[in-house]
Structure 1
Amino acid sequence: MGALEIIVANEPEPAGVILVVEDEVLIRLDVSDFLRGQGFDVVEAASADEAIAVMASGEHVSLVFTDVQMPGSTDGLGLVRWIRRHRPTVPVIVTSGLSRDRDLSPDLADLAPIEQKPYSEAALLRRIRRRLDL
């Protein structure tokens, strides 16, 4: 008998860790599954409060993709402000179902780029890759 050769296939490195923050379960699952299919590791949160807990725990996050309107003690804009104070190097993309830019907080454009709902997965992927320099 010959020697047993073990070949270990190297898993490709993930493209990054995306924290998806969305209170609508089906939307969160859909975008998370899509991003996983594109090679990203995904951490999910149903509220800004959960997202802050994830980030405060020291979890590595490459980018945050968050909705604006969510239940809890803070919304997506509060989450973005928390990130700017505590994890300022983490890029953020905000999504909103509000139909007009003027309906959004005036300071939102200064905080993070906005991906209007409904968004296409291809457009979201392009924006994420640009923000991560991929």
Structure 2
Amino acid sequence: MGTHDMTIQSSPPAEHKPRILVVEDDDSMRRSMQLFLRGRGFDVLTYASAGQLLREVNVEAACLVADYRLGEQNGISLLGALRARGWMGPAILTTGFPSEELRSSARTAGFDLFLEKPFQDHALINGINQLIRANFREVV
């Protein structure tokens, strides 16, 4: 298998809806987040695994929302792979198995927000909006 040049930008053009990448192995949770975020005006791309996202060659995204447990990989290793490819956007880690050790690992890996499942819809949307605004100010 060859190596792909993966260009991932953290800020979509202003005329487009902000794109959110959702990586969640639970089908119903993934679909629920997709519908909720689309209903709030976001362009949402969903993936059932880290590998699915990492196979994308060109992805632009304003924010990543990743579950911790993703089968063959986890959300922390996914963010590490994206950072290694140059994507520096904000990231949110979700998990149904929270611990202080995981919270610390997520922070060290570069996650900006840690959400424990089940989380309230407003916690997700507020987190995404705040992170996108903060990231936009840093870029400008």
TM over 0.5: yes
More strand by share: 2
State the match for 1:108 in structure 2: 106
1:40-80 deviations in whole A, cap 9, x for unaligned?
000010011112123xx1121211100000112x2111101
Q: Where in structure 1 are there 5+ consecutive unaligned residues? A: 1-12
Q: Secondary structure at the match of 1:87?
A: coil
Aligned positions of 1:1-134 closer than 5 A: 13-54=15-56, 57-72=57-72, 74-102=73-101, 104=102, 106-110=104-108, 111-112=110-111, 113-133=113-133
Which TM-score applies when normalising by structure 2? Answer: 0.77
What is the CA–CA distance in structure 2 between the aligned matches of 1:77 and 1:115, rounded to whole Å? 14
Per-residue displacement from partner, 1:23-51 (whole Å, max 9, x unpaired)?
Answer: 00000000110000000000010011112
Conservation of the 8 A alpha-carbon contact between 1:16 and 1:62: yes
Percent identity, please: 28
Q: Which of the pair has the greater relative contact order for Cα pairs under 8 Å at 6+ separation?
A: 2
- Residue segments in structure 2 that go unaligned for 5+ positions in a row: 1-14, 135-140
Tell me how far apart the structure 1 counterparts of residues 97 and 128 of structure 2 sit (CA, whole Å): 21
Q: Which runs of 4+ in 1 moved over 4 A?
A: none
| Alpha-carbon distance in 2 for matches of 1:49, 1:94 | 17
